[in-house]
Amino acid sequence: MARTVKLDPRVLGARVCMTLWLAFAWVLLWGSVEVGTIVSGLIVATVVMVVLPLPRVPVEGLLRPLSTVWLVLVVAYYLIRSSIVVAWLSIRPTAPPRSAVLRAPMRLKSDFTLALAVNTLNLLPGGIVVRVDPVARYVYVHVLDAGTDEAVEQFRRQTAHVEKLYLRAFERDEDWRPSPEHYSAPADSAPTTAGTTTPGDPVDPAGGTDPENPGDADGSRPGEADADAASTPAGAEKPYDPTTEEEGPW
């Protein structure tokens, strides 16, 4: 009995888009938009897709065109704004900003979408992703300016906004169809939960030990933490902690 092979329309659409993209790259390489160049590009792209196929990535979400266009526009805005901020930090007549490695949640279900989001964060001036936890879905970003609470809050909101844009463009709940071929990344054993840092607590790359107080890892003096906790009003709003809250204020 012949075996029936059913091709998922989403997989077929992804292959067609990849073929068109390769043909477009072929036309760019030749530098002329002619019928012969376009046809030859389609032929070469088809041969590459058949003879040299890339590892199959399960297509589990659905691309939303309007949300994708909005994603591109917002990322372009962030690129311009971050470039201006970094340029000002490099020429302002004050001390260099304090840098730090900050942790932020990135709750994207697909590893492919997670990779796209990480690449987007790497494109934004002022920060670079140094580590990704594929199981807990956290990214660790080295931020150029993390010397103030306002700068840390700005980083948190920008990262959360990028995450939300990718969720709306590729991984809406009503469009998500889990695939049996979904790849599960191996567990990441280091650093442990005790050694991680929330977005509200910057990590000094030069080391967190105060030379005057070598016994205190965070550089604070004994009793300061208790004094701060005692001075916080009972009804005051606490900073957003991704380890305890499911959703942020956005």
| SS3 of 73-106 | HHHHHHHHHHHHHHHHHHHCCCCCCCCEEEEEEC
Could you tell me which residues come within 8 angstroms of residue 73 by beta carbon, excluding any fewer than 6 positions away?
none
Least reliable range by pLDDT among 13-27, 179-193, 226-240: 226-240
Judged against a pLDDT cut of 50, whether residue 76 lies above it is answered with yes
Provide the token pair at 195. 């050694």
Provide the token pair at 74. 């917002």
Instruction: Say what the pLDDT of residue 226 is.
Output: 43
Phi-psi domain of 60 (left: phi exceeds 0; alpha: psi -120 through 50; beta: other)? alpha
Instruction: Say what the pLDDT of residue 50 is.
Output: 85
Least reliable range by pLDDT among 71-85, 95-109, 128-142, 208-222: 208-222
Instruction: Say what the pLDDT of residue 228 is.
Output: 44
The pTM of this model reads: 0.57
What mean pLDDT is predicted for residues 219-248?
44
Could you tell me which residues come within 8 angstroms of residue 157 by beta carbon, excluding any fewer than 6 positions away?
248, 250
Q: Which amino acid is at 86?
A: V
Instruction: Say what the pLDDT of residue 146 is.
Output: 87
